[in-house]
Amino acid sequence: TIDACVSAQACFTTLTNMKTKTTKNSNNKNIMAKKKVVLAFSGGLDTSFCVKYLSEECGYDVYTAIANTGGFNQEELKSIEERAYKLGAVQHATLDITQEYYDKSIKYMIFGNVLRNGTYPISVSSERIFQAIAIINYAKKIGADYVAHGSTGAGNDQVRFDLTFQILAPEIKILTPTRDMTLTREYEIDYLKKHGYEADFKKMEYSINKGLWGTSIGGKETLKSNQTLPESAYPCQMIAKGEETLTIDFKEGEIAAVNGEKYDDKVAAIQAIEKITEKYAIGRDMHIGDTIIGIKGRVGFEAAAPMVIINAHKMLEKHTLTKWQQYWKDQIGTWYGMFLHEAQYLDPVMRDMEAFLQSSQQNVTGRVIIDLKPYRYVLVGVESDFDLMKSDFGEYGEVNKAWTADDVKGFTKILGNQMKIYHSVLNKNKK
């Protein structure tokens, strides 16, 4: 049966009549209609293979859908649509979820200064959940029998897509030919070539996922512990000449202005910062971490705007938050990023953490000055009415105004009591 072979290679070689359903035409006669599958389509190698395979080998009507999280312009989206039809898609849909992605994820990742393992702004990890939500909602809307994705069996995305699909539409079966048949990129390229599909396969040697919050890059080098990506693998090259100063204004934790120009549209503000910073080839790194499925993984990334924004925001917080606000925000931000990375976005605890992060931003208002240089940037400083350095209590390392020398002497005596008691008892027992 169809259900029995959905998750096995044998599924893709069953007879065509096993993938059809009976409907009635206007004359009330029974006709056979193909099963309908919605494929999460990016235009990359894995999803290109899936369109061709599911339509030609399996006989499904393949409806492709791309959930754009801000990584594609209109020209690129049009090219992806043309590619889908060329591969055999019955219908293609472009689902723009960029604003939703900012409102429900990026905003809180900025509030939490989220960097997985202190390195990666979880660019792809965060957007996959929202893409999955958009895809499954589209599948329900058009009455699809199946939903499909091109994830492999060795990565995180398979869990993110599967789990989201299962929670939001348990009645819709999931197809994953790339995973089920344990396919290599070389096999998929060869298959597409044999079926007459022409493309820049050299470019497809690298898996590139681009969104509003950065770009991930996977390739043969990321599979090795002792190699790194070549310069040519990065979509953005270093083309800047000289240096320049960038200013970012925050209001209650959100970007309010870039270089003095006000932005009500926060997505446009991030895009403006990206346009300025990407030409310096900054925000590049290699993320090494633990995957959801338990193995170690490596992925290259470039995220000029996210890295500058997060670190600028973090510097402003150092000036405007109290010690304990910063401490607990660090804890919550770490957990929020981990849960988001590991496909737990739909757990209600995420809404609780978002409420805390939102509350912490009341005084995170001011301007951050950044110097941009080739391959690096320098956080110069901040200007803020909420700057806790600007007080009448004293100037660090210089002048004390709100206490006397005797106050500090007494304070230090009391502060040291616990350690003094410990060492006193320890010394007595050594004798």
Instruction: State the CB neighbour count (10 A cutoff) for residue 232.
Output: 7
Res 2: pLDDT: 37
Q: Where are the alpha helices (DSSP H) in 41-144?
A: 45-52, 74-87, 98-101, 107-111, 123-141
Distances (CA, A) of 6 to 25, 40, 180, 366: 28, 17, 9, 54
Give the pTM: 0.89
**CA 37 – CA 148 distance, rounded (Å):** 7
User: In angstroms, how far is CA 279 from the centroid of its own chain?
Assistant: 21
Instruction: Name which of 207, 206, 211, 125 is nearest 161 in CA terms.
Output: 125
> Given this model, what pLDDT does residue 11 score?
46
pLDDT value of position 112: 98
Q: What is the DSSP letter of 14?
A: S
Q: Name the strand (E) or helix (H) holding 335.
A: helix 323-341
**Among the listed residues 296, 277, 370, 359, the one whose alpha carbon sits nearest the alpha carbon of residue 117:** 296
β-strands 36-40, 146-148: how paired? parallel
d(CA 156, CA 151): 8
Looking at residue 18, its pLDDT comes to 38
What is the spatial distance between Cα 240 and Cα 266, in angstroms, rounded to a whole number? 25
The residue count of the chain comes to 431
Q: What is the DSSP letter of 56?
A: I
The whole-angstrom separation of Cα 413 and Cα 425 is 18
User: Nearest CA to 63 among 32, 97, 94, 109?
Assistant: 94
Buried b (16+ CB within 10 A) or exposed e, 254-263: bbbbbeeeeb
Task: Write the CA distances from 105 to 73, 129, 325, 387, integer angstroms.
Answer: 21, 10, 21, 27
How far out from the chain centre does Cα 318 lie? Answer: 25
Please tell me the predicted confidence (pLDDT) of residue 387: 97
The helix or strand, by DSSP H or E, that contains position 178, with its residue range, turns out to be helix 177-180
Q: Which amino acid is at 339?
A: F
| Alpha-carbon distances, residue 415 vs 37, 108, 285, 396, 409 (angstroms) | 68, 37, 43, 20, 10
Beta carbons within 8 Å of 178's beta carbon, 6+ residues apart = 46, 49, 50, 150, 151, 152, 188
The whole-angstrom separation of Cα 271 and Cα 41 is 23
Would you state the pLDDT for residue 216? 93
Query: What are the distances in angstroms from CA 333 to CA 114, 255, 269?
Result: 6, 18, 22
Taking only the tens of pLDDT, the chain with its 431 residues reads 333 334 444 444 433 333 455 455 555 544 456 899 999 999 988 999 999 999 999 999 999 999 999 989 999 999 999 999 999 999 999 999 999 999 999 999 999 999 999 999 999 889 999 999 999 999 999 999 999 999 999 889 999 999 999 999 999 999 999 999 999 888 998 999 999 887 777 767 788 889 999 999 998 999 999 999 999 999 999 999 899 999 999 999 999 999 999 999 999 999 999 999 999 999 999 999 999 999 999 999 999 999 999 999 999 999 999 999 999 999 999 999 999 999 999 999 999 999 999 999 999 999 999 999 999 999 999 999 999 998 889 888 888 889 999 999 999 999 999 999 999 999 999 87
Residue 340 structure tokens: 């988001």
* Cα separation, 67 vs 196, whole angstroms: 27
- How far is Cα 305 from Cα 272, in angstroms, rounded to an integer? 9
Report the C-alpha gap between 198 and 298 in whole angstroms: 30
